[in-house]
Amino acid sequence: MSGTTDAEGGRLAGRVALITGASRGLGAAVAERYAAEGAHVVLVARTVGGLEAVDDRVREAGGTATLVPSDLTAAGQIEALGAAMLERFGRIDVLVASAAGLGALGPVTHSNPKLWRETLELNLFSVLRLVQVCHPLLRQSSAGRAIVVTCRVGREPKAYWNAYGVSKAALDMLTQLYAAETAKSPVRINLIDPGPLRTQLRAAAFPGETPEAVPEPATVTEAFVRLAAESWTATGQCVDATELCRSGGQAASFAN
């Protein structure tokens, strides 16, 4: 692993940020924004080519990154990632759990149990393992921040969203339990709902939608910066990214 950035002036200068799902879409946009704010970004995803493309953009903009091609559903890979972070950096300042899969949309009564298990493995159980592995490293930070990407369909049941909706509902509870159990620690844990964005997951869910009808992922990255900053003190919130970008404060949360 390469060393941390010594960039000055950014709101995340000197911070080490681990971002999953960082090869494209929202994860890539967050990684590029964090790097622009001075963080050293550790990019985790399965697609090597995608990671390299993000790395190129980060470096062209003067930032630094470490690439970690990894399948979060494969046995032992999250544990190996944690061990590497401990050896190289000794801490994690910001964890962004962005990786997710849509699975298959359709009636619950006709759903495929194998696809359910695969969707839950990535969207839920990989985050559980990340929390377990990364929490000791977040505790080594002066201001550890964990940010978990959620979706409204986990709070508002919508027909045919199948395992994806169930995984997000369970993910919300997992994150809030984690926040409640660590409320007296320096680590701040929050959910963030980015809303509709122009991503491959969105295109798969809405194949007839005009891509230009939804905003680019970069439009909500300001919210991720605020949640990652040492100045963010709230924990256990579910934050609307668009509203937080508009408000400029810490009150843009909504009830589950």
Structure tokens, 37: 């704010």
Contact 137, 82 (CB under 8 A): yes
Please tell me the distance from the alpha carbon of residue 81 to that of residue 103, in angstroms, as a whole number. 25
Nearest to 26 by CA among 97, 111, 107: 97
Catalytic residue chosen out of the listed positions 34, 160, 164, 178: 164
Whether 92 contacts 138, CB under 8 Å: yes
Q: Judge whether 164 counts as a catalytic residue.
A: yes
Q: Which two tokens stand for residue 227?
A: 């949640």
Helix or strand run (H / E) with residue 66:
strand 64-69
Distances from the Cα of 111 to the Cα of 107, 116, 126, 206, angstroms: 6, 8, 22, 19
Where in the sequence numbering do the catalytic residues fall?
164
